[in-house]
Amino acid sequence: MAKAPPSIAATSTLAMVRAAEARGARTADLLEDAGLTRESLEDPDARIPGPTVLAIWTALRQRTGDPTLQLSAPTCLPFGAYRVIDYLVAASATVGDGVRRFARFFGLVAEAVSLTIDEDREEHRLRLLMADGRPVPPVYVDYVFAALVSRIRMRIQPDLSVLRVELRQSEPESSSAYTQLFRAPVHFGATADRLCFSDDGWRAPTVDADEALAHLLEDHARILAQRMPREASGFRAEVQRAIAAALPEARSAADVARALHVSVRTLQRKLVATGTTFREVSEAVAGQLAAEYLTDPSVSISEVAFLLGFSDQSSFHRAFRRWTGESPGRWRRHARREDRRHPDGARDAMGSRSSL
């Protein structure tokens, strides 16, 4: 079976659609041609295959006559639209801490894109590449760099200063949109796509720093990124990822079906064909994530309940007993003893070494 193309969070395409509509462009027909709707874009858990994203973006830029639509698009989304990524950056103590977290967990937005940081005493450089080392399409480079800068200025550090921007793409007929956005020199025809910060700009404090919250959100993002392997394939794996991505908000079969662009009936039918049900998959995801959180002593049991979408700690206790036959506290003590005996590997909620 052919491998599915990498996907990108629908939130970015929603931003492009809103930017195009603000310029008076029609978008419904373009979405329909791609098998999408405005409602599907507004679902924060929805993902779109990368080739489809690029095709829609190209059509939107042609229809508006604006080749730099991707630079202004991120400002069409309110802060928080990128959920854990937005709030992780905002809660970080400095701009640099936020950019590091943005780079570390960007796979939650675009699974095939890799962000790395090169630095020395004088400057810090955020570099964008495909995970396999190939260059990222220029339109998406523009969007990612514009999104990071504009969203930091939106709420986190209004006076954010960028040292320079280096882009592999050829210089356009007019580069004024780039210099106006970044407020810094923009070098086209560069050897790599980099967003560069001075040391002072990197260390600048953020407005709403909350390191305790940042660490809690980082734990959640880390487990979503690491325990839902990208190499997992098949419909059941897609459902697992959709459920996990929705947390800590509770999600029904209808919500997950919408995120996967299928009907609830199709969702249930496909899962039955794999020998399971939506409830079983949902419980398995929650049980696995609960096990991972509980192995981390820095995350309290009440925080675990919150991250898994339970309305209160007692509901989580009842569910965890149903999954494992033990209370969360007892399971955590047992897991710690096992970790001392077997420091390598991870356990699922039943104590075996595995992951979803």
Q: Which domains does the chain have, with CATH numbers?
A: 7-202 (3.90.1520.10), 228-341 (1.10.10.60)
How far from each other are the two terminal CA atoms of the chain, in whole angstroms? 21
The predicted-structure confidence for 294-340, as pLDDT tens digits, reads as follows 877 778 898 888 888 888 888 888 888 887 777 888 888 876 665 55
User: Which residue, 197, 200, 238, 209, is CA-closest to 99?
Assistant: 197
pLDDT of residue 339: 54
CA–CA gap between residue 93 and residue 153 (Å, rounded): 15
10-residue averages of pLDDT along the chain (356 residues): 67 96 95 86 83 92 96 94 90 94 90 88 92 87 97 90 95 94 96 95 91 85 61 70 77 83 86 76 83 81 86 86 82 68 42 33
- Torsion of the alpha carbons at 224, 229, 233 and 235, rounded to the nearest 10: -20
- The reported pTM is 0.65
Backbone angles phi, psi at 287, to 5 degrees: -65, -40
In one-letter notation, the amino acid at residue 68 is T
pLDDT of residue 250: 60
The predicted-structure confidence for 238-247, as pLDDT tens digits, reads as follows 888 888 877 7
pLDDT of residue 131: 77
pLDDT of residue 292: 78
The predicted-structure confidence for 141-182, as pLDDT tens digits, reads as follows 999 999 999 999 998 889 999 999 999 999 998 999 999 999
Helix/strand/coil for 21: helix
Helix/strand/coil for 83: coil
